[in-house]
Chains A and B, each alone.
Chain A
Amino acid sequence: MSPDDGSAIDLKRPLVAMLLGWLVPGLGHLYQGRRFKGVLFLVVVLSIYITGFLLGGGRVVYWSWKPGEQRWAMACQAGIGIAAVPAAAQSMLLNGVGKAAAAGGFMAPPVGLNQPVAESYGRAMMRRNPGLSEDDFRRQPRLRLWELQRDELSMWHRQLGRWFEIGTLYTMIAGMLNMLVIYDAGFGPLGSIRDDERRGGGAGKSNSSTSAAD
């Protein structure tokens, strides 16, 4: 039920709306026909995410659960949905010995000290990090493996400075805000059911947003 005029809100299929809302911010609302809110969420949440991503040089959204290099920010960033999915895929591609991430390392986790990667990926890393040269790798030509002798994450911090943190903060907040948006798509506006109605004493009980949806 709308908290503004008490009219019922048709949430259609809330689970579908929540899934769509996770995939693309505001898409769940657009599916429900709540156009103003859908467009508002799409513009606001994605603007913050894209701004953060660009401020962080495109390196702040990555998935890493290696011991000592856990990327906890991803737990919040994942709330943005499809825009964070490549990070999970890249993490899986790069997991193991002599592996290579796709698309030149877009959203790939940083390569750790002495981590063996495929030769082709070593070259891609050099294109991605201007300060990196072939001398920074220990090469194993027979296995076509390159081992980075530096920590790529430290290089990113040195290159980006505070922009890395600001970009991380923006993308994390965008993900967390989208979690509120997902809730709104699934259950209607927060506080839309008054306490007396929630207890079952109110007249508007049958018009609650969730019942309208089903």
Chain B
Amino acid sequence: MESLASILVSTLAVTLLDRVPGLAFGVPILIAASFVFAATHHEHPDAIRGAMLQWLVWLGVILGVVLGLVLLIGIWV
């Protein structure tokens, strides 16, 4: 189940990167924001590392949904 989800997510990511030029430039910002959000909520390195991954997933999912909606609207209109 997890491997299926990871395949779906990577397929979606590759499709988005292909369809939206310049999307890759958002990735460093996403990683930096995740690091800063995690480090401003925790104090210890291990906790920061764990929270960073959680923030990365959250931000990625939220922005991915927004981008997906925009793309859908773009196809529709």
Residues of A that sit less than 8 Å from B by CB: 2-5, 9, 34, 36-37, 40-41, 44-45, 47-48, 51, 162, 166, 169-170, 173-174, 177, 180-181, 183-184, 189-192
With A166-B22, A170-B29, A173-B29 already in contact, the answer to whether A41 and B41 are too (CB < 8 A) is: no
Tally chain B residues at the interface, Cβ within 8 Å. Answer: 18
Complex CA distance for A3 and B36, rounded to whole angstroms: 16
Is A47's CB under 8 angstroms from B40's CB? Answer: no
8 tightest Cβ-Cβ pairs between the two chains A and B: A2-B43, A184-B40, A4-B47, A177-B36, A4-B44, A48-B32, A44-B35, A44-B32
Ordered by A's residue number, 13 sampled pairs between the chains whose C-beta atoms are within 8 Å are: A4-B47, A5-B44, A9-B43, A37-B39, A40-B39, A41-B39, A45-B32, A45-B36, A48-B29, A170-B25, A180-B36, A184-B39, A189-B40
Residues of B that sit less than 8 Å from A by CB: 22, 25, 28-29, 32-33, 35-37, 39-45, 47-48
Is A48's CB under 8 angstroms from B28's CB? Answer: yes
Is B35's CB under 8 angstroms from A162's CB? Answer: no
Is B32's CB under 8 angstroms from A3's CB? Answer: no
Complex CA distance for A37 and B48, rounded to whole angstroms: 9
Closest CB in chain A relative to B16 CB, distance in Å: 17
Closest CB in chain A relative to B5 CB, distance in Å: 28
Complex CA distance for A172 and B15, rounded to whole angstroms: 28
With A45-B36, A181-B36 already in contact, the answer to whether A40 and B41 are too (CB < 8 A) is: no
A191 partner residues in chain B, CB cutoff 8 A: 41
Known contacts A173-B33, A177-B36; 11 additional CB pairs below 8 A are: A2-B43, A3-B41, A5-B44, A37-B39, A37-B48, A41-B36, A44-B32, A44-B35, A189-B43, A190-B40, A192-B43
A184 partner residues in chain B, CB cutoff 8 A: 39-40
A169 partner residues in chain B, CB cutoff 8 A: 29
Most chain A CB within 10 A, of B22, B43, B47, is at B43
Is B40's CB under 8 angstroms from A183's CB? Answer: yes
Is A3's CB under 8 angstroms from B29's CB? Answer: no
